[in-house]
């Protein structure tokens, strides 16, 4: 059976450094931690985790509450979170909550049961809402779809600014009837992205038209159905902006089934820049947001809370960029309408 001395030999460090990397990874340089972790795997070494947890009073488990684990964007967030956790010597416990508050509370309670050290929440719900005293609040970070009020540290995107940038791009191409397929009505992302879309229209002298806004839920099916609703109008929009790439991909299928072409007949834009966006036919214009960075930043903040280190910044806003591809173009001849 391998032992800690064998790990130290393989990693080229002292036994004390191996012990520190396993017990207090935050005290060891990242490059050294990675060498130790690689040596642990190579040697097949399994430290006495119960003893480590007893001494540190930590489980080294992080609960991640994911509203829809099959969503491509959340999959990338989880990937970033897991890498950051592993580098710091923590494990992640994934919970696909399907947006169920009772499920989220149940898994968040693992912290109270001393089976986890903190919670990363990826939607706008506080599983510790009943904890009113800040001193009793377990470590939690809210990322992606954030809560209002500033109670928890957050990692987010300027969704208003990003949606405005997409809409301004379509307006610059000459479009005046821009349809919007929303996300879920209860989501802060939906609210902020719709506000950015409407702000761009108003700045261009166009009064937002509620008939050009279709409800959705970020899914392929919502985009597929929303495209039919909007493009079936007597005076159809010349461009569609979907609040997620998955909805845009669903819309693209419907548009083609209706005998229309993208972008010759209808321009189409999404949001997220999931991997599939670049491989659509045509490739999708979208907003790129650094999904992996959401997970990495959020886990780093969460571990700082767990280890009682001060946070330099409690609310992080990550950058976005407009990625212009072949799914958007100028208005078809004869379709330019006044605002």
pLDDT band at 8 (very low <50, low <70, confident <90, very high): confident
Residue with tokens 């958007």: 328
pLDDT of 172 strictly over 80: yes
pLDDT the model gives residue 57: 67
Most confident of 92-101, 204-213, 304-313: 204-213
pLDDT band, very low/low/confident/very high, at 52 (cuts 50, 70, 90): low
pLDDT band at 37 (very low <50, low <70, confident <90, very high): confident
Average pLDDT, stretch 168-188? Answer: 95
Q: 54 falls in which pLDDT band (50, 70, 90)?
A: very low
CB 152 within 8 A of CB 126: yes
In the chain, alpha helices (H) = 4-11, 15-23, 30-43, 49-56, 72-87, 101-108, 159-172, 188-203, 220-231, 245-257, 291-306
- The single residue listed with the structure tokens 């999959």 is 75
**Taking Cα atoms as reference points, which of 269, 303, 300, 298 lies closest to residue 284?**
269
Topology of the domain covering 159-285: Rossmann fold (3.40.50)
- pLDDT band of residue 42 (cuts 50, 70, 90) is confident
Range 58-152+291-319 classified under CATH 3.40.50.2300: yes
| pLDDT reported for residue 216 | 95
**Mean pLDDT calculated for residue range 292-313:** 93
Please answer whether residues 315 and 156 qualify as being in contact, where contact means their C-beta atoms are separated by less than 8 angstroms.
Answer: yes
Fold of 4-54: 434 Repressor (Amino-terminal Domain) (1.10.260)
Where does the chain hold its CATH 3.40.50.2300 domain(s)? 58-152+291-319, 159-285
Residue 287 pLDDT grade (very low, low, confident, very high; cuts 50, 70, 90): very high
Q: What is the mean pLDDT of residues 138-151?
A: 87
pLDDT tier at 271, thresholds 50, 70, 90? very high
Report the mean per-residue pLDDT for the chain: 90
pLDDT of residue 146: 86
pLDDT of residue 269 exceeding 80, the answer is yes
The lowest-confidence range among 28-32, 77-81, 319-323, 326-330 is 28-32
Q: What is the pLDDT of residue 334?
A: 54
Quote the tokens at residue 240: 């569609």
């Amino acid at each position: 059976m391998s032992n800690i001395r064998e790990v130290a030999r393989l990693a080229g460090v002292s036994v004390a450094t191996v012990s520190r990397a396993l017990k207090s990874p935050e005290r060891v340089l990242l490059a050294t931690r990675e060498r130790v972790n690689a040596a642990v795997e190579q040697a097949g070494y399994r430290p006495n985790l119960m003893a480590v947890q007893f001494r540190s009073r930590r489980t080294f488990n992080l609960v991640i509450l994911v509203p829809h684990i099959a969503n491509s964007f959340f999959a990338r967030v989880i990937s970033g979170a897991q890498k950051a956790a592993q580098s710091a010597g923590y494990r992640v416990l994934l919970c696909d909550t399907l947006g169920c508050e009772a499920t989220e509370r149940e898994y968040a309670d693992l912290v109270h049961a001393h089976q986890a050290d903190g919670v990363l929440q990826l939607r706008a719900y506080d599983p510790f809402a009943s904890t009113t005293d800040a001193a009793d609040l377990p470590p939690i970070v809210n990322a992606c779809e954030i809560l209002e009020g500033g109670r928890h540290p957050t990692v987010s995107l300027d969704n208003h600014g990003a949606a405005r940038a997409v809409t301004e791009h379509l307006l610059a191409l000459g479009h005046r009837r821009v349809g919007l397929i929303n996300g879920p009505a209860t989501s802060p992302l939906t609210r902020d992205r719709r506000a950015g879309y409407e702000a761009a229209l108003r700045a261009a002298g166009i009064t937002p038209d509620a008939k050009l806004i279709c409800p959705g839920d970020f899914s392929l099916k919502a985009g597929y159905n929303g495209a039919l609703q909007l493009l079936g109008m007597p005076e159809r929009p010349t461009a569609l902006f979907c609040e997620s790439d998955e909805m845009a991909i669903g819309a693209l299928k419907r548009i083609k089934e209706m005998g229309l072409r993208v972008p010759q007949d209808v321009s189409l834009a999404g949001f997220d820049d999931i991997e599939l966006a670049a491989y659509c036919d045509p490739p999708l214009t979208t907003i790129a947001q650094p999904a992996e960075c959401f997970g990495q930043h959020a886990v780093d903040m969460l571990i700082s809370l767990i280890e009682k280190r001060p946070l330099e910044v409690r609310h992080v806003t990550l950058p976005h960029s407009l990625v212009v591809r072949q799914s958007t173009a100028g208005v078809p001849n004869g379709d330019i309408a006044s605002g």
